[in-house]
Structures are given as C-alpha cells and as structure tokens.
Amino acid sequence: MDTIGIIREVESDPGLKAALRAALLEDEILELPSLVGKLVEARRPA
C-alpha cells in the first residue's frame, strides 16, 4: 500500500484515526479542544 492509500485508510476509519492521533500527540494537545470549549462557555454572557 502506498502513502496515499494509508492516508485514505486512516481518514475512512474513525477508530484508526483516533488511535493514530493518540499515539502521535501528547495528552496536553489532545485536551486542547475541550479546554477551549470550556473557555468559550465561561466567557459567554449569562
């Protein structure tokens, strides 16, 4: 399988994509979307 085939395989399989992301990225980076969401919620006017 060539590189493009591997990329397509990863993109089409959410479980494989999540596993690859977890293997390559630090925990702190993976937590960023959640932290940004909390920050946005905290800054919204009541």
The predicted-structure confidence for 15-42, as pLDDT tens digits, reads as follows: 999 999 999 999 999 999 999 999 999 9
pTM above 0.85, yes or no: no
The total of structural domains in the chain comes to 1
Residue 11's pLDDT band (cuts 50, 70, 90): very high
CB under 8 A, 24+ apart: contacts of 8-12: none
In angstroms, the CA 21 to CA 10 distance is 10
9 has a pLDDT exceeding 90: yes
Domain span holding position 27: 3-43
Token pair of 9 as six digits: 């395989």
Residue type at position 29? I
DSSP H helix total and E strand total for the chain: 3, 0
